[in-house]
A and B are shown apart, each in its own frame.
Chain A
C-alpha cells in the first residue's frame, strides 16, 4: 500500500428494512432489531395514513403521527430481524404499523481494522 493512501471497504448483500409505526413506538422497534442482530437504525418522524381511515370510529385509537425506522441489515440476517421486529412490534394488530424490505446495491461505513484483516488472509 502506498504511504498515506485511504482505503474504502464496500459492503454487498445489504438490505434495508423500513418500519413505520405510531409515534412513541420507534424505540421498541430499534431494540427489537438490535436484539435480532441488527447493528444500527435511523429514526425520523412523519405523518401517515392507511388503515386508520378505514377503521371508522376506532380510527381515533391510531395515531396519525408516525416514526419511520430504517434498519440496514445483511441479506442473511434479514429474515430474523424482520420476523423479530414484526412480532415485538405487534404488526399483526391493526394500526400498529407497516414494514417492508428494500434491496440495497451497496453500503459503506467504518469497519474496524481487525475485522477487515480477517478477510485479507
Chain B
C-alpha cells in the first residue's frame, strides 16, 4: 500500500526504514584539563561494513569512469567505423583497437584523478607560498627553471620529433637540421622559451598587466616573425613545425601543474578582477616557444648556409639500433610516464622543502596522486600504442590513399577529408585530460557559471573546425595565404571585442589542448596529407579554431545576459 503525505507525493514506503535519533546522543563528550581548557577531541575512525565500502567505491569509480567514457567514446566509435568501412580490417583488429581504447579510458581516469588529487593541490600550495616568502627575482628564476625542466621531462616534444620521418633535406633544409643535428639545440631553445613565457606570465600577475594587450602583442610578434621566415627561402619549411611546437609544448602533467601554480600564485597576489582566474602562463609559454623556434631557424639560416646542411645530411648515415628493453612496450611507457612526472615534482619538492622551508601538509595525498598519475599515464600510453598498432600506424591516416589520389581533385573528396579531419579533431580534443582539468578549474573559479561539459564541447567543436580548415591548407599549400590571413584576422578581431576573462580562458584553453590524445592522430593526419612541411601546422589550426570558438561562446554569453 502506498503512503501519500500532504503534498500528494508518493513515497515508496515499503523500502524506507525511518528512525529518529537525537544528535545529542551521537556527539562526543568533551573533557576539560586541569586548567579548564578543552582537551582536543580525536575522532575515532569509522569502521565500514562491506556493503558500505562497496557502495562508496562504486560511486567513486562510476562517476570517474563515466566522466572519461563519454569523451573517449566518440573517438572509439569513429575509429571503429573507419577501420571497418574505410580500411576494411578484420574484427580482430577492430577488437584490438577497442581493447586499446579501454585501456586508454582507464588510463585517463587514473591520470585525471591523480592529477586532481596530487598535482593540483601541490601546485596550488607552492604557487600560494612562494610570493609570500620570496621576492619577484627569486620567483622568476624558479619559474624559468621549471619551464626548462618540464620541457625536457614531458615527452610530448619528443613524440613530435619522432613522428616526423626524415624530412627531404632539399625541400626544407633548416627544418631537417633542427630535427636531426640541431635537435638538442632545439630542445634547449624550446625549454628556455617555455621558461621565458612562464616568467612573463608570472610578471603579469605581479604587475597586474591586462591580458589582452599581452596576448595581442605576443601574437603580433609571432606573426611578424612568421612572415619574415615565410619570405626567407629554405627556412620557410619551419613555420608549420614552429607553430605546432607552441601548441604541443606543455604536456598533460605540466599544463595542469602550471595552471595550479598560476591559480595559487594569483590568490596570494590578487590584483584586479581578471587576474583572479590565474591564467595566462600557458599561452605565453606557447607563444614564446613559437617565437623561439622561428628565431632559432632564422639565426641558423644566417650562420649556416643551405649547402652545408645538405652536404652534411648526405654525409652522415643513420645506423639502425636494435630496440633495447627500455624501448619496448610496456616498459617504454612506464619509463616515459615516470620521466614525465618525477623530475618536475622532484624539482618543486626541493624548492618547497629547501628553499621555502615549507612543510607540505597532505604529503600522503601528494604521493598517492603522483603514483596514480604515473600509473595513469603509463596505462594511457600503452593503450594508445596498442590501439594504434592495430589500426596500422600512420597508414590509417593515409587518407589520400583511401580516397584515391587519381580523383583527388573533386570537391567531394575535399569534403570527405574535411569531415574526417573534423571528426578526428573533435574526438581527440574532447578526450584530452588537460581539457577535463581546465574545465573543472574554470567551473570552480566561476562558481559554476561556466559548466565544464559545455566548455569542453565548445572547445572540441572549435578544434574540429580548425582542423578542417587546416586540412584544406595542407592539401593546397598554395592557398595558405587565403586560409591563414582570414583565420588570424578573425582571431584578432574576436580577441579585441572579448572581455579579459574570456580571452584568458580561450587562450589558455588552446594551450592545454595538444597532448597525448590529439598529437598522434592530428599530427599524423597532417603528415599523411601534406608531408612534414605542408602538413605541419595542423595542430595549431585546431588550437586556433578552439580559441575562436571559446571567444565566440564568451561573446554569446555576454549578449545573452545583457
A-B contacts besides A26-B448, A54-B46, A90-B59, 4 pairs, CB < 8 Å: A43-B448, A77-B7, A79-B5, A83-B16
CB contact between A83 and one of B11, B56, B365, B444 (< 8 Å): that residue: B11
Binds A, one of B47-55, B196-204, B288-296, B489-497: B47-55
Q: Contacts of A54 on B, CB cut-off 8 Å?
A: 43-46
Q: Contacts of A23 on B, CB cut-off 8 Å?
A: 440
Assess the A87–B46 pair: CB atoms within 8 A.
no
Assess the A58–B53 pair: CB atoms within 8 A.
yes
Cβ-based interface call for A108 (8 A): no
Assess the B46–A51 pair: CB atoms within 8 A.
yes
Q: Contacts of A36 on B, CB cut-off 8 Å?
A: 9
CB contact between B447 and one of A45, A53, A87 (< 8 Å): that residue: A45
Between-chain CB contacts (< 8 Å), 19 pairs: A24-B67, A36-B9, A37-B9, A51-B46, A53-B43, A54-B45, A55-B46, A58-B48, A58-B53, A61-B56, A61-B60, A62-B56, A62-B60, A65-B444, A76-B6, A80-B11, A93-B56, A95-B56, A96-B59
Least CB separation from B117: chain A residue: A60
A43 to chain B, nearest CB (A): 6
A51 to B26, CA, bound (A): 14
Cβ-based interface call for A40 (8 A): no
Cβ-based interface call for B368 (8 A): yes
Least CB separation from B54: chain A residue: A93
Q: Contacts of A53 on B, CB cut-off 8 Å?
A: 43
A54 to B42, CA, bound (A): 10
A32 to B440, CA, bound (A): 23
Least CB separation from A35: chain B residue: B9
Q: Contacts of B304 on A, CB cut-off 8 Å?
A: none
Per-residue CB contact flags for chain B residues 36-77 toward chain A (1 = under 8 Å, else 0) read: 000000011110100011011101100100010000000000
Q: Contacts of B444 on A, CB cut-off 8 Å?
A: 45, 65
Interface of B with A (CB < 8 Å)? Answer: 5-7, 9, 11-12, 16, 43-46, 48, 52-53, 55-57, 59-60, 63, 67, 117, 365, 368, 440, 444, 447-448
Q: Contacts of A44 on B, CB cut-off 8 Å?
A: 447-448
Q: Contacts of B60 on A, CB cut-off 8 Å?
A: 61-62
Query: Which size bracket describes the interface of A in this complex?
Result: 20 to 34
A66 to chain B, nearest CB (A): 11
Q: Contacts of B6 on A, CB cut-off 8 Å?
A: 76
Assess the B46–A90 pair: CB atoms within 8 A.
no
Least CB separation from A61: chain B residue: B60
A63 to B12, CA, bound (A): 30
Known A37-B9, A44-B447; judge A93-B16 contact (CB<8 A). Answer: no
Assess the A24–B48 pair: CB atoms within 8 A.
no
Assess the B365–A60 pair: CB atoms within 8 A.
yes
Q: Contacts of B44 on A, CB cut-off 8 Å?
A: 54
A2 to chain B, nearest CB (A): 34
Per-residue CB contact flags for chain A residues 31-55 toward chain B (1 = under 8 Å, else 0) read: 0000011000001110000010111
A76 to B365, CA, bound (A): 45
B172 to chain A, nearest CB (A): 48
Per-residue CB contact flags for chain A residues 84-109 toward chain B (1 = under 8 Å, else 0) read: 10010010011110000000000000
A50 to chain B, nearest CB (A): 10
Assess the A94–B48 pair: CB atoms within 8 A.
yes
Assess the B48–A60 pair: CB atoms within 8 A.
no
A79 to B9, CA, bound (A): 10
Cβ-based interface call for A56 (8 A): yes
Assess the A93–B43 pair: CB atoms within 8 A.
no
Nearest 6 Cβ contacts at the A-B interface: A80-B9, A61-B60, A93-B55, A77-B7, A54-B46, A54-B45
Assess the B59–A80 pair: CB atoms within 8 A.
no
Q: Contacts of A25 on B, CB cut-off 8 Å?
A: 63
Least CB separation from A51: chain B residue: B46
Most buried by A among B12, B16, B56: B56
CB contact between B16 and one of A55, A65, A87, A96 (< 8 Å): that residue: A87
Q: Contacts of A84 on B, CB cut-off 8 Å?
A: 9
CB contact between A37 and one of B7, B53, B63, B365 (< 8 Å): that residue: B7
Known A61-B56, A62-B56; judge A55-B48 contact (CB<8 A). Answer: yes
Q: Contacts of B59 on A, CB cut-off 8 Å?
A: 61, 90, 93, 96
Least CB separation from A93: chain B residue: B55
Least CB separation from B121: chain A residue: A64
A24 to B112, CA, bound (A): 15
Q: Contacts of A26 on B, CB cut-off 8 Å?
A: 448
A101 to B534, CA, bound (A): 64
A95 to B58, CA, bound (A): 12
Most buried by B among A53, A56, A80, A87: A80
Assess the A55–B45 pair: CB atoms within 8 A.
yes
A26 to B444, CA, bound (A): 13
Q: Contacts of B448 on A, CB cut-off 8 Å?
A: 26, 43-45, 67
